[in-house]
Structure formats: structure tokens, C-alpha cells
């Protein structure tokens, strides 16, 4: 078996992983002040937050290109690849997953799977890395798919945003709720539900209380098994590091990594957002 893994630029991928010859990444363009950028090519995450702060309007994002995916699959079919695993951002936040299913049967000689990740960002990147590692170890395609599905089923993220207006403009919250929330200092905790949709989990007064609750929820969710925990932030490293230290002190996990929300997800959550993501070890 020779496996290719395809993902999109909403995934948080390590520098080492980007050099893997069996990894292929579809671009998700971000338009800021009329200019089109692709993170990792002509935009860094830190630059994105600077540009977003300076722009009069919020950036705009689109879906990955189906044409680019089809071109990639055509290229893989002409080489010596036998299997393809596509892991893309959740169907709950993009229609891309539904729109590509027909491609699975279009390429003779390629066994293709597109499971719904129901997540994005760092957890998506970890699934991609795991699949490539398992393939390098000689595990077969079905075994890899089974393990990935276990991770999908046990993965979620709880998110605290700094500015409710990003949620309004992204269609996640009514304008009236945002005004009321800002006046009352409400910090909603969002989460990826079982369908991979971002919903409001709880509305909490003040950031201090919301942070405490965020930690409690992740401790509860990870207390009965072995999990990898990641703190993800939108240009808020100090806040994220504080959360990481509190999780370590609480004994949630010994090794908790930090990741950054890139331009695709940062557009919708805004600067200052933080998330605690967890996924089962398999």
C-alpha cells in the first residue's frame, strides 16, 4: 500500500509534517482588504492578525477548491499511489465534505476515503499526522480508517472568544445577543457538537468565570480515558500558556501542546480567542 493523505489549509500542521512527500494540502484562500492570501504561502498567522486588525472589514474565506482536489487525485492516480485518505474541515462548518463524495468512485485503481473529521485546526492536523505515521509503520488502510474514526468520535474542542462581533458577522450569533453580551460582559463558551457544528455550550458572566468553566469541562471530558490535549489560540499566546499551565497543574495531561488558529478559523473566531481541544489516544 502507498497512501496519500490530503487535507486543507485550515489544519494546523507542523513544519516537519509539511515536508512529507505523501501529504497534499488544498488551499483555502482568505481575502483581506481586497487582497487574496493563502496561509503558508504568502501569509503567516501573525501577519494575518495584523492585517485583520488594520482592515475596515472582516476577512472573507471560501471552501477549498473541488477542482484542485480532482487535479490532485488525477495526479495521484498516475503515480504509484494505491490509497487516498482525505481529511478536511468539519462538514458542520463547510459544505466541502458533502460536495466531494462523488469523487470517491471516479478513479480506478485508487481506494479513496473521505471521513467527516467533524473538527478543524490542530486536531485535524494531528489526525493527518497520525494517518501518515501509521501508514509508514505498515498498517493497512482499513486499520488506519478505524483508528481515525475512533479519534473523530472522541474529539471535540471548547472555545472562548474575545469579541462577539466576529460570531455575529459569521452568522453564529444574533446582533442583539452580541450587544447584550458585550454590555453584560458575557463570554459564551462554544463547542463542536457530535455533528461537527459549532454551537453555544454555555453563556458565562466575565472572562475569569468562563476560563474556570472551560478548564472544568475539559477535565470532566478527559477524566475517564487517555487523551491528547491541545491549547489553541488566536494571537493570544500569554492567555493560552496560562491555560496550559493550569491544565498541567490539574493533572489533565503531562504534555499539552500549543497551537495557533490560522487565518481560516481566526477569521470567524477573532483575535484573542482560545480553545481547549482533546482527542483520544488510539
pLDDT, one tens digit per residue, over 233-244 is 999 999 999 999
Q: Indicate the SS3 state at residue 57.
A: coil
Instruction: Report whether pLDDT(110) > 90.
Output: yes
Cα separations in angstroms, 189 against 123, 162, 213, 259: 18, 11, 9, 19
Q: Give me the mean pLDDT over the 20-26 stretch.
A: 97
Q: What is the pLDDT of residue 234?
A: 94
Nearest one of 4, 9, 12 to 125, comparing CA atoms: 12
Domain ranges of the chain: 3-28+63-153, 156-280
pLDDT, one tens digit per residue, over 182-212 is 545 678 888 999 999 888 888 888 889 999 9
Compute the mean pLDDT over every residue in the chain, rounded to the nearest whole number: 90
Instruction: Report whether pLDDT(179) > 80.
Output: no
pLDDT, one tens digit per residue, over 163-175 is 666 555 555 454 4
Q: What is the pLDDT of residue 57?
A: 86
* Range of lowest pLDDT (135-144, 147-156, 246-255): 246-255
Q: Tell me: domain 156-280, CATH 3.40.250.10, correct? A: no
Euclidean distance between the first and the last CA atom of the chain, given in angstroms as a whole number = 21
CA–CA separation, 260 and 159 (whole Å): 13
Q: What is the pLDDT of residue 21?
A: 96
Q: What is the pLDDT of residue 46?
A: 84
- Domain 3-28+63-153 CATH (choose: 3.40.800.20, 3.20.20.80, 3.40.50.10170, 3.30.70.3270): 3.40.50.10170
Q: What is the pLDDT of residue 206?
A: 84
Amino acid at each position: 500500500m502507498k497512501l496519500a493523505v490530503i487535507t486543507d489549509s485550515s489544519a494546523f500542521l507542523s513544519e516537519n509534517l509539511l515536508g512529507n512527500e505523501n501529504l497534499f494540502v488544498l488551499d483555502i484562500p482568505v481575502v483581506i482588504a481586497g487582497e487574496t492570501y493563502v496561509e503558508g504561502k504568502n501569509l503567516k498567522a501573525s501577519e494575518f492578525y495584523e492585517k485583520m486588525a488594520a482592515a475596515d472589514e472582516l476577512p472573507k474565506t471560501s471552501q477549498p477548491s473541488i477542482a484542485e482536489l480532482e487535479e490532485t487525485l488525477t495526479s495521484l492516480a498516475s503515480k504509484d499511489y494505491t490509497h487516498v485518505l482525505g481529511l478536511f474541515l468539519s462538514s458542520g462548518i463547510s459544505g466541502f465534505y458533502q460536495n466531494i463524495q462523488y469523487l470517491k468512485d471516479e478513479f480506478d485503481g485508487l481506494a479513496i476515503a473521505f471521513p467527516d473529521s467533524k473538527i478543524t485546526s490542530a486536531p485535524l492536523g494531528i489526525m493527518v499526522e497520525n494517518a501518515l505515521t501509521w501508514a509508514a509503520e505498515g498498517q493497512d488502510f482499513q486499520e488506519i480508517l478505524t483508528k481515525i474514526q475512533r479519534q473523530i468520535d472522541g474529539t471535540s474542542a471548547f472555545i472562548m472568544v474575545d469579541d462577539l462581533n466576529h460570531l455575529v458577522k459569521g452568522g453564529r450569533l444574533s446582533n442583539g445577543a452580541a450587544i447584550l453580551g458585550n454590555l453584560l460582559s458575557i463570554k459564551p463558551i462554544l463547542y463542536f457538537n457530535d455533528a461537527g457544528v459549532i454551537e453555544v455550550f454555555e453563556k458565562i458572566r466575565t472572562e475569569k468565570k468562563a476560563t474556570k468553566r472551560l478548564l472544568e469541562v475539559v477535565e470532566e471530558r478527559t477524566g475517564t480515558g487517555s487523551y491528547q490535549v491541545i491549547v489553541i489560540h488566536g494571537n493570544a499566546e500569554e492567555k493560552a500558556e496560562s491555560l496550559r499551565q493550569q491544565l498541567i497543574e490539574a493533572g489533565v495531561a503531562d504534555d499539552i501542546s500549543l497551537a495557533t488558529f490560522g487565518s481560516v478559523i481566526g477569521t470567524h473566531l477573532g483575535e484573542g480567542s482560545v480553545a481547549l481541544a482533546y482527542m483520544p489516544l488510539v
